[in-house]
Amino acid sequence: MHGDERDVWADGRRGEHGNHPRGPRRGYYLLDTGDFYGMGHNEMLIGRALHFQREQVVLSVKFGAQRAPNGAWLGFDARPVAMKSALAYSLKRLGVEYIDIYRPSRLDPNVPIEETIGAIAEMVKAGYVRYIGLSEVGRRQSGGRRRYIQSWICRLNMRW
């Protein structure tokens, strides 16, 4: 991890400062996780930490990675129906009514990006998501749809 995200833990275990409810007082206000980190366990830990300070943090969640019961990688699914299901489970595990930034962890080559972003936009309108983000998406991956995509995106997370 990099920058101010260094204290957010992908595997749900205690990190340098621990997954601690005093996080915002220690200066980390962005919690960046994925529904597949620890196969949902990380979201449950974050949910416990957030229960009394939800408005003090920006909660960013990636979705789409598919895992087998043994944790093996199965692929990626950004179909609208899969996104809505993943969002429902994330909201439940986190114990929140909305997620500040919701984004696919990468582009699904089998699903047009407009479908994925459009489905998340529906969740914005319904109040379950505040903003849309993208991960691991560059100019080449977004193709000629860049203007459409930019009109919705608030955060872009790239590999360095």
The answer to whether residues 64 and 83 touch, using CB atoms and an 8 Å cutoff, is yes
In the chain, where the domains are located: 3-157
Element (H, E) at 148: helix 146-150
Q: Starting at the edge strand that comes first in sequence, how are the strands of the sheet with 153-157 ordered?
A: 30-34, 58-63, 99-104, 129-135, 153-157
Active site residues: 37
Residues 6+ apart with CB under 8 A from 57: 23, 24, 29, 30, 31, 50
Tokens of 33: 């996780």
Q: How does pLDDT run across 78-87, given as a tens digit for each residue? A: 999 999 999 9
**Nearest by Cα to 8 from 56, 48, 39, 45:** 45
Domain 3-157: CATH superfamily, name plus number = NADP-dependent oxidoreductase domain (3.20.20.100)
The average pLDDT across 89-96 equals 94
The predicted structure's pLDDT at residue 30: 81
The average pLDDT across 148-158 equals 53
pLDDT at residue 7 is higher than 90: no
- How far, in Å, are 21, 36, 54, 81, 84 from residue 122 at the CA level? 31, 22, 23, 12, 10
Q: What is the DSSP string of 28-90?
A: --EEEEETTGGGGHHHHHHHHHHTTTGGGSEEEEEE-EEE-TT--EEEE---HHHHHHHHHHH
Element (H, E) at 102: strand 99-104
pLDDT at residue 133 is higher than 50: yes
Side chain identity at residue 160, one-letter code = W
pLDDT at residue 66 is higher than 80: yes
